[in-house]
A and B are shown apart, each in its own frame.
Chain A
Amino acid sequence: MSVTVKHLYKSYQGRAVLRDVSFRAGRGRVTCVEAPSGGGKTTLFRILMGLESPDSGAVTLPESCTFSAVFQEDRLLSGRDARYNLRFVLGRAYDETAARTLLDALGLSDALEKPVRDYSGGMRRRLALIRALLMPSDVLILDEPFTGTDAQTRRCALDAVRRYAAGRVTLLATHTRSDANALDADTVRLR
């Protein structure tokens, strides 16, 4: 299974955001998408998830492909606690043990009962990452998932991504080169 992008173009009000983007992301590999801020990473991810259409070009996905994602924004149910947020997307796939393990690893177990609106920015980001990792899917999209994390938590988060990326196509946008290196990621540069 893989995701193939061929000659993708997208512009907004005459401003080209994606210009002739082509790559292939394979299963079990992390593909790191590199671009400066405003360079089209989020647009590319939105096109892959079917939230936007390209001006031209093609995206080839496996039939009935499922996604999980860390969006550019955290997109959490702010009045609810971590468990509810996880159950909301996972439904019957929610596994308390797996959730606990990840929440512990990323330092959120103490805040489990608190509504997410009381979390710091970094905590919200970590919860968004845990939600995406725990959700079974074919493609995992991570749009700057490590924002606001300290060095130690970042290492734990990278470990978790490495573990959960196995068996899926993983696309990662990060500004930190060392993150891509730590995940032994393939690199796609957007022009």
Chain B
Amino acid sequence: MKRNPRLWTAFFWLALWEGVSLLFGQPLLLPSPLSVAARLAGLLGTLSFWEAVARSSVRILAGFALGCAGGILLAVPASARPRVRQLLSPAVATVKAIPVASFVILSLVWLPSRALSTFIAFLMTLPPVYLGVSEGIRSADPQLLEMARVFRVPLLRRARGIYVPAVLPAFRTAVSLALGLCWKAGVAAEVIGLPRGTVGERLYSAKVYFLTTDLFAWTVVVVTLSVCFERVFLSLLDGVSKRMGV
């Protein structure tokens, strides 16, 4: 029988987790994977679970979409005009450097808590997408651009034929990074801001009431959502890349 290396890797780590959990013998400190799986199964059957997942997903993905749109919209003039790039450079560097927690606390002063995860996801997405798209635009083949200029190819067609294929690989890397950051920072923002009926609020409750198994189960949910959205988005992007001959 052929061995699946991924399955074996997963089995190894789950077995290690189970072993350490048994060694501790304190489910409050480290619940076993089986108890986490059982709790997760229990959560899956409740309406409030799906409501929390849907609410957090919509808000975080809205922030991600806005961050992508903002990053692209800023990258286009920044790639064409060095002055715009210089102007934006400190702002992007600042957003990258400031800790998420500082942004969350500051945002709580400006925004209602329900908008927090959207805003934080937006801030997590904008810099990598802006930088990735800028780099992609600048990497467009100058010989092809010259050819398009000689043949007087209109800008929109030039963008589709030359710029978009040049941008897609860098955009893919940026999006992959941004989606992971969005979920981490978005849920962290919910844990601090405690908007009602969200994954972050459920994580906070689990921490307050020492429901360690719940804490693990919700963490598994966040990781699963992050991985699933990343896979779906990247496979859509790969489909577009394939169609564009990248």
Contact = CB atoms under 8 A, between A and B. Distances in A.
Q: Looking at chain B, what size class is its interface with the partner chain?
A: 10 to 19
Interface in B92-122: none
A67 B153 contact: no
B67 interface: no
Interface in A74-94: 75, 77-81, 84, 88-89, 91
Contact of B151 (A78, A84, A89): A89
Contacts of A165: none
B157 A88 contact: yes
Interface in B114-158: 143-144, 146-154, 157
B240 interface: no
Given A71-B143, A91-B157, A77 B151 contact: no
Name the residue in B143, B151, B153, B161 with the highest tally of chain A Cβ atoms < 10 Å from its Cβ.
B151
Nearest to A89: B151
A99 to B, nearest CB: 15
Interface string A45-56: 000010100000
A73 interface: yes
Given A66-B152, A88-B157, A115-B245, A75 B147 contact: yes
The binding surface of chain B is classed by DSSP as helix
B162 interface: yes
Contacts of B153: 88-89, 91
B236 interface: no
Contacts of B245: 77-81, 84, 115, 117
Contacts of A69: 147, 150-151
B246 interface: yes
B186 interface: no
Interface residues of A: mostly helix, strand, loop or mixed? loop
B142 to A, nearest CB: 10
Given A79-B165, A88-B161, A91-B157, A68 B151 contact: yes
A68 B149 CA distance: 10
Contacts of A78: 245
A49 B150 contact: yes
B228 interface: no
B244 interface: yes
Contacts of A91: 153-154, 157
Given A75-B143, A77-B162, A88-B161, A135 B246 contact: no
A51 B157 contact: no
Contacts of B154: 91
A54 B97 CA distance: 48
A73 to B, nearest CB: 6
B151 A135 contact: yes
A88 B152 CA distance: 10
Could you say which of A66, A84, A89 has the most chain B C-beta atoms within 10 Å of its C-beta?
A: A89
A67 B150 contact: yes
Interface of A: 49, 51, 66-69, 71, 73, 75, 77-81, 84, 88-89, 91, 115, 117, 135
11 contacts: A51-B149, A69-B151, A71-B146, A75-B143, A77-B245, A78-B245, A84-B245, A88-B161, A89-B148, A91-B154, A135-B151
Given A51-B149, A69-B150, A88-B157, 4 more contacts: A51-B146, A51-B150, A75-B143, A80-B245
Q: Which 5 A-B pairs have the closest CB atoms?
A: A79-B245, A75-B147, A89-B151, A80-B245, A88-B161
